[in-house]
């Protein structure tokens, strides 16, 4: 397991490393990002209250940033899913053996954006679903990609969409994103919330996460919104 966590939190120490990585292949990566087809199976927009989607795909900073810029999203919280409450801390999860994945809880208005649309964005710009137990420079089971479903409808939409993308050969390798029941979501520490907006010049953010938001704006202009006026997460 490769651990880049120190580099993520201390940008000056990471500047030389990430500058070298950026010189290697950012253009090739950008060219591979395309808008995937919308799910053929989706939820009806009949709810009168906010719904919740919990997704994991690498460092939660970037996933949070993407969904904070989606119209209809009301709040995004960085956190942990897949493990026990007493191991839901950044240091514990960083060991890669707690069962947790860095995740985000997306609270959204289903009359403005559907669950299927969120999955379309997720698979199109937020991650590479063919990478097993890693995303970009981050490696370990805590960086695996997971759709944590909250009910049978979400499970069906996620399963059917992955099958749809597989049949369409949308990627050059098999999709390894898991579809698992959501047992619990534990918010991450306060300093991880809204990290993209608070630390835009962090080299990790500049190289790994800013392109995701740019891809969202380019590929999904009809749902891109900046700045978002979200309910802020208050943690201590």
Closest CA to 49 of 104, 111, 106, 114: 111
Q: Which long-range contacts (CB under 8 A, 24 or more apart) does 224-229 make?
A: 224/69, 224/70, 224/71, 225/69, 225/70, 225/71, 226/69, 228/68, 228/69, 228/70, 228/73
Catalytic residue among 18, 53, 59, 121: 59
Q: Assign residue 140 a region: left if phi > 0, alpha if psi is -120 to 50, beta otherwise?
A: left
The answer to whether residue 24 is catalytic is no
Q: Count Cα neighbours of 223 within 13 Å in the Cβ-side half-sphere.
A: 23
- The catalytic site residues sit at 59
């Amino acid at each position: 397991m490769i651990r880049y966590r120190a580099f993520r939190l201390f940008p000056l120490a990471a500047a030389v490393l990430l500058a070298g990585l950026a010189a290697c292949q950012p253009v090739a990566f950008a060219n591979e990002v395309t808008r995937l087809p919308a799910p053929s199976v989706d939820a009806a927009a009949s709810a009168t209250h906010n719904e919740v989607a919990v997704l994991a795909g690498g460092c939660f900073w970037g996933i949070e940033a993407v969904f904070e810029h989606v119209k209809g999203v009301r709040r995004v919280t960085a956190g942990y899913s897949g493990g026990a409450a007493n191991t839901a801390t950044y240091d514990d999860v960083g060991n890669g053996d707690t069962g947790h994945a860095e995740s985000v809880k997306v609270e959204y208005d289903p009359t403005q954006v559907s669950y299927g649309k969120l999955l379309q964005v997720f698979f199109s710009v937020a991650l590479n679903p063919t990478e097993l137990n890693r995303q970009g420079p981050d490696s370990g089971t805590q960086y695996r990609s997971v759709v944590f479903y909250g009910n049978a409808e979400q499970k069906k939409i996620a399963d059917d969409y992955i099958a749809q993308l597989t049949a369409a050969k949308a990627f050059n390798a098999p999709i390894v994103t898991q579809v698992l029941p959501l047992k619990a979501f534990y918010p991450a520490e306060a300093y991880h919330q809204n990290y993209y907006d608070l630390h835009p010049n962090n080299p990790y953010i500049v190289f790994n996460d800013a392109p995701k938001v740019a891809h969202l704006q380019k590929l999904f202009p009809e749902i891109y919104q900046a700045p978002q006026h979200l309910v802020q997460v208050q943690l201590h």
